[in-house]
Amino acid sequence: MSPSQESVFPEYEADTSQTSKLIRKFKETPFVPIGMAGFAAVVGYGLYKLKHRGNMKMSLHLIHMRVAAQGFAVGALTCGVLYSLFRDYVGKPKE
């Protein structure tokens, strides 16, 4: 690309650092980091409770934690999709 030509995507070339790209993505889709944090929290809680599970079998405990973590992640993504639909169709002023 020659220097005299304008860039096709100037907003993507302006952000060069990974941190600024990550912050921009989090602003565009706020429920994805919430889902990731919730997933990590459920996994951390599951690891903590693994030691104090009593007489529950290990496989049953792991299945419960997997279902809880997946449920939190899917719930956050569903909320994100609903938020995007609301923002695009309901919150958008009619032309």
Residues 78, 5: Cα–Cα separation, whole Å? 42
Tokens of 24: 């921009």
Tokens of 32: 């994805």
Instruction: Return the domain boundaries, the chain.
Output: 60-94
Per-residue pLDDT tens, the chain, 95 aa: give them. 555 556 566 555 554 788 887 788 788 777 778 878 888 888 888 888 888 878 888 888 889 888 988 888 888 888 888 888 888 888 766 66
pTM: 0.59
Question: What stretch of H or E contains 26?
Answer: helix 18-28
Q: What are phi and psi of 13, to 5 degrees?
A: -80, -20
